Structure 1
Amino acid sequence: MTLTNSLSDIGARAIPEFDGVHDVWPRGDRLRAVREAAAAYKVRFKAQGQIRAVKSVDIAAAPYPVHYAFHDAVSVPTLPLISMINRMIVVQYDDFDGRPRTLVFEPTMPEGSAEAPFYANLQALMAKVPGATKFAETLMLKYYNEPGDVLDQLGLRPEDIDFCTFDHLHVQDPRMILGSTEVIDGESEPRQPLFGDAKMLVHSRELATLQSLHPMQWAWYVDGGLGGVDPSKFATFDGDIELGPGIALLWTPGHTDGNHSLVLNTPDGVWVSSENGISLDNWQPELSKIPGVRKYHEHFGREICPNANTLEDSLDQYDSMIKEKTMADPCKADPRWLQILPSTELVPWKRFWPVVPTFCHGGISYGEIQAGLR
């Protein structure tokens, strides 16, 4: 594949503070190195400036197994499935060449996610139980907006978008975002790009995973999701990069090999977003009121309780969540909690009590999103 690999092409640059930290051995020393590097980078990151604007909009709520969500920590009988909200975030910033940019983070297409084997198998299983599909749709599914509709709401056009990205490519179909020369099964014509000529920023390890899936990864990826996609639509990177003052993509491996987290500097300080957790309870289990999560923290002496559907490398994921916690600033509304916004967040619906978030940001909004910056 012919890919964009020069950071200068996208007005970005590497982050030297994290050079080599993921290679430190033994693992206890690596955790300390990750924490210290994040603390050092945070000082420089905040001093560089803030983004222009950011706005999040809910896309859809979908079911997810409780035992994955909190690493089997939940200690009371409950429904086997809860719901999580996919949330699309639009960020505007200036890159390091001074060009105004618009980035779309997590533009999930629900019909694409449904094709991932995990969800396809779940649907097939429910179809065998009378009334189960309708029950699940009523209880757990909710559709708010399509990514294209979000642009309309914000006054943007597809050609206003420079980049799109996902923290990782679980249950994502790149064909539905970037377009394809091939016809997707069940459709009548090839997909057109959702965001014009925008490129998808993707960690090189994440893209390679989708190109060659291991059986332990297969259920969570849309196999064939690269079919007919123009390779030049991807802009790949390695390690940790900053896109401009106030915005960075930090490599946070573990949940997947190429997982990365969105980090933003705003008027209220630093925010972090990823799916290493699905609620703040995952990052701050010592404050959790979800039965079993605080005990998980106390029993194992762990600072985090991971979102654990894959566990490609649980030690890496632990270190990555510490990296995120170190970068995030305290919440202005309640300083006990960090400004971490899960890219897919546990719903606060009472029907799933007691598995509801102890504290929920519910979104992010600063400044005014503007059209025509390109």
Structure 2
Amino acid sequence: MSTGHAEETLADIGARSVPEFEGVHDVWPRGERLSAVKEAAHAYKERFKSQGTVRAVRSVDIAAAPYPVAFAFNNAVSVPALPMIAMINRMVVVRYDDWDGRPRTLVFEPTVPDGSAEAPFYNHLQQLMRRIPGGTRLAEAFLLKYYNEPGDALTKLGLTPEDIDFCTFDHLHVQDPRMILGSSEAIPGESRPRGPLFGSARMLVHSRELATLESLHPMQWAWYVEDGLRGVDRSSFVTFDGDVELGPGVTLLWTPGHTDGNHSLLLNTPDGVWVSSENGIALDNWQPELSKIPGVRGYHRRYGREICPNANTLEDSLDQYDSMIKEKILADPCRRDPRWLQILPSTELAPWKRFWPVMPTFTHGGVSYGELSGGGAR
């Protein structure tokens, strides 16, 4: 286990590792690794559900941004006239008790749109649209939409920044930690350093994900904010390896593949187990056999694959496949329609008719349980 600073451990934040998954991602050969992942996921699900549920959870939409169709479904979609769709970033707030019985509040995916725009991929896309007559207006009309800034979303939920104990992202693509944790240096183009968005809350991050942002490979560079750590107090991070249980009913699953340090949010609720992840941008990615998006069901049949990955960066496509199977096993069926799993994409394909026929076949529309209240324990 790594630590955000020398004295901090998982035990200090009331968390603990998940023994069922220890070593499964090292199994060789790869076919046996997938079998090991499946076996561990079935074993862990039984124990996870027996430990209890979270106190409350709410999801809030943040913003919609453009995304290439080719990335969204690993080149499976056969609609050449539609190069772009829009994805909606979704923030999830979780109220839970840690393993020491302390009430905690976690914010998952508090995306700041201004930070995402700094990533080279989106910066280049903005420049490209400016060169096209009317391109910026076209993008704003058809691909962009702003719902809530993370701070405003908290206010709508009846919370203040001081109520938040931890924040986390499934990975750090297009995220600028300076805009969440604050920085001792001003971001270029701004007049003064930013303060923290969530008071003294710390960011939970997989050690491999933080290391990636510290030393980017050229194949990773386009999707990360290269200077996102400049001036950030490193004690604001709590790093971990593997899978981590934060408390009864809430776990950060290590789901490598999309990035080395990717992790997904696992929640136990009165309606069963939910997974929030960006390994896919629609349930169609996890359940391609049910998809009505042209090409996705054919991808499933042609290659005999149980999933169709979100594939803007295939750092390890086999690991991402295994991770999505891990998520599918842990998620419970939806009570509204048991054919579909309770998987909530952290960034979801917008169900807008302008993108027909590339629209999600089924959507949950968010998640909401219990009553959020302030006063987390530090």
Pick aligned residue for 2:141 from 128, 138, 143: 138
Letter paired with 1:41: Y
Q: Which residue of 2 aligns with 1:215?
A: 218
SS in 2 for 1:84: strand
- Percent sequence identity over aligned pairs: 78
Q: Deviations over 1:288-311 (max 9, x none)?
A: 000000000000000000000000
Letter paired with 2:228: G
Pick aligned residue for 1:347 from 335, 345, 350: 350
Structure 2 residue 336 is matched with structure 1 residue 333: yes
CA-CA distance at 1:2 after TM superposition: 7.3
List runs of 5+ in structure 2 lacking aligned partners. Answer: none
Letter paired with 1:3: G
CA-CA distance at 1:372 after TM superposition: 2.3
Q: Which residue of 2 aligns with 1:30?
A: 33
Moved more, 5-14 or 32-41: 5-14
Pick aligned residue for 1:264 from 244, 267, 273: 267
Q: In the alignment, is the contact (CA less than 8 A) between 1:2 and 1:231 conserved in 2?
A: no
Structure 2 residue 291 is matched with structure 1 residue 285: no
Q: Which residue of 1 aligns with 2:363?
A: 360
Alpha-carbon distance in structure 2 between the residues aligned to 1:373 and 1:168? 24
Q: In the alignment, is the contact (CA less than 8 A) between 2:164 and 2:376 conserved in 1?
A: no
Q: In the alignment, is the contact (CA less than 8 A) between 1:95 and 1:245 conserved in 2?
A: yes
Pick aligned residue for 1:106 from 105, 109, 112: 109
Q: Kindly tell me: are residues 2 and 289 of structure 1, through their superposed partners in 2, closer, same or farther at Cα, counting changes over 3 Å? A: closer
Q: In the alignment, is the contact (CA less than 8 A) between 1:205 and 1:257 conserved in 2?
A: yes
What TM-score results when the alignment is normalised by the length of structure 2? 0.98
Residues 36-55 of structure 1: pairs in structure 2 closer than 5 A: 36-55=39-58
What TM-score results when the alignment is normalised by the length of structure 1? 0.99
Alpha-carbon distance in structure 2 between the residues aligned to 1:199 and 1:76? 43
Alpha-carbon distance in structure 2 between the residues aligned to 1:362 and 1:119? 26
Runs of 4+ in 1 over 4 A off after TM superposition: none
Letter paired with 2:119: A
Alpha-carbon distance in structure 2 between the residues aligned to 1:68 and 1:352? 15
Q: Which residue of 1 aligns with 2:80?
A: 77
Structure 2 residue 249 is matched with structure 1 residue 246: yes
CA-CA distance at 1:143 after TM superposition: 0.2
SS in 2 for 1:215: coil
Q: Kindly tell me: are residues 2 and 22 of structure 1, through their superposed partners in 2, closer, same or farther at Cα, counting changes over 3 Å? A: closer
Alpha-carbon distance in structure 1 between the residues aligned to 2:246 and 2:264? 13
Q: Which residue of 2 aligns with 1:3?
A: 4
Q: Which residue of 2 aligns with 1:311?
A: 314
CA-CA distance at 1:132 after TM superposition: 1.1
Alpha-carbon distance in structure 1 between the residues aligned to 2:38 and 2:121? 34
Moved more, 40-49 or 126-135: 126-135
RMSD of aligned alpha carbons? 0.9
Q: In the alignment, is the contact (CA less than 8 A) between 2:3 and 2:238 conserved in 1?
A: no
Alpha-carbon distance in structure 2 between the residues aligned to 1:295 and 1:2? 45
CA-CA distance at 1:79 after TM superposition: 1.7
Residues 160-309 of structure 1: pairs in structure 2 closer than 5 A: 160-309=163-312
Q: In the alignment, is the contact (CA less than 8 A) between 1:68 and 1:309 conserved in 2?
A: yes
Letter paired with 2:67: Y
Alpha-carbon distance in structure 2 between the residues aligned to 1:75 and 1:64? 16
Letter paired with 1:313: D
Q: In the alignment, is the contact (CA less than 8 A) between 2:63 and 2:147 conserved in 1?
A: yes
